[in-house]
């Protein structure tokens, strides 16, 4: 069912239920259909049945529609690291955090697929995505340091975790019959141990 | 001795000895002094005692002055991976390649320091740097696959190698009495083994 149909049935109320979700879905639909560059905020708002002003209440610009979840993802990773039992090894703590992120992606696979196809088609968005990953690694390393983990162990564990997330996500997003993402992440951490242990 | 003095003594010959090196040095000097955004190609060429036309014979734009070495670096990494003995484990092969890159950085520490300070001051350049690192990881993973290494081992080894390079470089560039970079890289690979092997 297209968004236009949904909006028709919902009508245009002054109270805007799930405005963010509607804007997100409309934006992804347009980015995929017409391309990111060719889509305007006005078009996104129109398809979502909302005003441009409402759009800017939720997103700084049309790029941020694709990255608004980054702050929540970072918060999830950092709080998972912070909340892990004291006795756990840094790489185990990072593994738990990355698995938690994987579970979130898995819940929204359809949106993740669309988002990924938009990002893959645009060099500027790919750069933004890499910045996001680097920031996540840096935030997790900081969270480990707050647990008393020293460097280079903190940085190495965090960077290794982001490498696993990146590889697991790419594999999972390209699968037609997707595996369980948290499980895939666990397997990749196990494989990383094998790979780096080779002499 | 400033470049202006060098140019005065050398005069302006029609044959332009080491034009690339002179442009590089002039660009870094101006980027550090005035900022990357505020510097023009005309100013770089003037300080190097060369014409704008000569500048564009060597570099596509003022950003590429900071990244022209990326192709050579990638070639070094890929050829080191390709040339390693068949019997070596993927992570050992990657370690050798990253150490070779470290040796190159070490030879040009002064330039690396200036370059790093310019990049650290500019978000767009940082994004470009992350793209470069991602490309290097991807190229090394491909080179491992050509050796018959399967995934996810190839991707994991390559990404782990880039993580080590990133952390080693950051540490080394911020040291006032810098350690031997290839040695630091070896230590970080050993530490990565310890970190990822923890259960």
Which CATH number belongs to the domain containing residue A20 in this structure?
Answer: 1.10.10.60
Question: Is A167 in the B-facing interface, judged by CB distances under 8 Å?
Answer: yes
CB contact under 8 A, A131 and B134: no
Domain shared by B22 and B116, yes or no = no
One digit per residue, the tens of pLDDT, for chain B of length 199 reads: 444 444 434 444 455 679 999 999 999 999 999 999 999 999 999 999 999 999 999 999 999 999 988 999 999 999 999 999 999 999 999 999 999 999 999 998 988 999 999 999 998 899 999 999 999 999 999 999 999 999 999 999 999 999 999 999 999 999 888 899 999 999 999 999 999 985 5
Q: Output the six-digit token pair for A23.
A: 């804007």
Number of domains in chain B: 2
pLDDT tier at A76, thresholds 50, 70, 90: very high
**Residue B127: which of A127, A194, A199 has the nearest Cβ?**
A127
pLDDT tier at A163, thresholds 50, 70, 90: very high
Number of CB pairs < 8 Å for A and B? 98
Residue B152 CA to residue B150 CA, distance in Å, equals 6
Domain shared by A147 and A55, yes or no = no
Domain shared by B75 and B107, yes or no = yes
Q: Please list, residue by residue across A107-124, b when 16 or more beta carbons sit within 10 angstroms of its beta carbon and e when fewer do.
A: eeeeebbbbbebbeebee
Domain shared by B192 and B105, yes or no = yes
Q: What is the pLDDT of residue A66?
A: 95
CB contact under 8 A, B152 and A159: no
A-chain residues within 8 Å CB-CB of B89?
198-199
Question: Is A159 in the B-facing interface, judged by CB distances under 8 Å?
Answer: yes
Q: What is the pLDDT of residue B4?
A: 44
Euclidean distance between the first and the last CA atom of chain B, given in angstroms as a whole number = 56
Please say whether the beta carbons of A183 and B78 come within 8 A: no
Minimum CA–CA partner of B187 in chain A = A152
Q: What is the pLDDT of residue B176?
A: 87
Q: What is the pLDDT of residue B16?
A: 67
Q: What is the pLDDT of residue A6?
A: 41
**Residue B160: which of A92, A126, A163 has the nearest Cβ?**
A163
- pTM for the full model? 0.85
Please say whether the beta carbons of A34 and A15 come within 8 A: no
Tell me the torsion sign for CA atoms A129, B73, B112, B34: negative
Domain shared by A61 and A105, yes or no = no
Q: What is the pLDDT of residue B178?
A: 87
Domain shared by A16 and A89, yes or no = no
Domain shared by A47 and A139, yes or no = no
Residue B9: domain span: 3-58
Give whole-number Cα distances, B97 to B100, B105, B146, B159, B164, in Å.
Answer: 5, 13, 15, 13, 12
CB contact under 8 A, A198 and B152: no
> Per mean pLDDT, which range of A20-29, A130-139, B12-21, B135-144 is the poorest?
B12-21
Mean confidence (pLDDT) of chain A: 90
Q: Which of residues 99-138 of B touch A (CB under 8 A)?
A: 126-128, 130-131, 134
Question: Is A64 in the B-facing interface, judged by CB distances under 8 Å?
Answer: no
Domain shared by B97 and B163, yes or no = yes
Domain shared by A182 and A88, yes or no = yes
């Amino acid at each position: 069912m297209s968004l236009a149909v949904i909006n028709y049935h919902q009508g245009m109320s002054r109270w805007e239920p799930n405005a963010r979700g509607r804007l997100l879905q409309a934006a992804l639909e347009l980015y995929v259909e017409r391309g990111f560059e060719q889509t305007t905020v006005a078009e996104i708002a129109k398809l979502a049945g909302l005003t441009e002003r409402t759009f800017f209440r939720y997103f700084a610009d049309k790029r941020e529609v694709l990255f608004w979840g980054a702050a929540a993802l970072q918060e999830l990773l950092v709080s998972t690291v912070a909340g892990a039992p004291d006795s756990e090894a840094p790489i185990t703590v990072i593994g738990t955090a990355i698995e938690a992120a994987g579970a979130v992606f898995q819940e929204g696979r359809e949106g993740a697929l669309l988002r990924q196809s938009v990002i893959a088609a645009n060099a500027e968005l790919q750069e933004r995505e890499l910045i996001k990953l680097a920031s996540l690694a840096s935030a997790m390393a900081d969270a480990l340091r707050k647990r008393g983990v020293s460097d280079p162990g903190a940085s190495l564990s965090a960077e290794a975790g982001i490498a696993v997330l990146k590889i697991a996500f790419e594999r999972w997003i390209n699968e037609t019959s997707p595996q369980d993402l948290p499980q895939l992440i666990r397997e990749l951490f196990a494989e990383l141990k094998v790979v780096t242990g080779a002499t």
